[in-house]
């Protein structure tokens, strides 16, 4: 399993819109490009971070250059609300205990 961790700075007046657009676009990436899904978290500073899981690095590498979210109306809201995005980490899972399921 491969994972990407992202940091987002969001317009404080558009947090609800950002969260909704992020959810819709993440669902598209899951359904159309093969991600395993993602989780979004808001931290005390007002920034957000998310981690997205992929079945493999190869799947992530093949999807990313091809992801096109421009046809989706939520993309405009997402782009407007998001002030910056930073890829913090990407890497292969070495141990897993999420939702009580142990994968070593």
Going along the chain from its start, the domains and CATH numbers come out as: 2-103 (3.30.70.100)
The distance of Cα 79 from the centroid of its chain, to the nearest Å, equals 14
Q: Read off the tokens for 98.
A: 């999420």
Looking at residue 104, its pLDDT comes to 52
List the pLDDT tens digit at each of the 104 positions of the chain: 899 999 999 999 999 999 999 999 999 999 999 999 999 999 999 899 999 999 999 999 999 889 999 999 999 999 999 999 999 999 998 887 776 665 55
Spatial separation of the C-alpha atoms in residues 71 and 66, rounded to whole Å: 13
């Amino acid at each position: 399993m491969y994972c990407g961790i992202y940091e987002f700075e969001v317009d404080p007046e558009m947090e609800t819109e950002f969260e909704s657009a992020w959810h819709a676009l993440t669902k598209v990436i899951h359904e159309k490009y093969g991600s395993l899904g993602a989780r979004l978290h808001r931290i005390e500073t007002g920034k957000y971070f998310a981690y997205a899981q992929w079945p493999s690095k190869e799947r992530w590498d093949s999807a990313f250059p091809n992801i096109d979210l421009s046809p989706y109306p939520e993309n405009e809201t997402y782009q407007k609300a998001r002030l910056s995005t930073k890829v913090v980490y990407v890497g292969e899972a070495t141990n897993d205990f999420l939702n009580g399921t142990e994968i070593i």
